[in-house]
Homo-oligomer: A and B are copies of this chain.
Amino acid sequence: MGELIIWTYDWVPEGPRGFVRDLRLRWACEEAGLAYEVRTVPFEGRGADHFARQPFGQVPFLSDGPLEIFESGAGLLHLARKSEALMPRDPAGEAETLQWTIAALNSIEMVSVPWWFLKISGEPDNKLTGWLGQRLDHVEAVLREREWLAAGRFTVADLLMADVLRVPDVRAFGERPASEAYVARITARPAFRKARAEQVAGFDAADAARAG
Contacts and interface: CB of A to CB of B under 8 A. Distances in A.
Interface in A92-130: 92, 95, 98-99, 101-103, 105-107, 109-111, 113-115, 117-118, 121, 123, 127-128
A185 to B, nearest CB: 20
A74 interface: yes
A141 B121 CA distance: 27
A66 interface: yes
A56 B138 contact: yes
A70 B103 contact: yes
> What are the nearest 3 A-B pairs in CB distance?
A114-B114, A74-B99, A71-B102
A131 B121 CA distance: 12
19 contacts: A51-B138, A55-B139, A55-B141, A56-B107, A56-B138, A57-B138, A64-B95, A70-B99, A71-B103, A71-B106, A77-B77, A78-B98, A102-B105, A105-B106, A110-B110, A110-B113, A110-B114, A114-B128, A121-B127
A102 B115 CA distance: 20
Interface in A50-103: 51, 55-58, 64, 66-71, 73-74, 77-78, 91-92, 95, 98-99, 101-103
Contacts of A107: 56, 58, 71
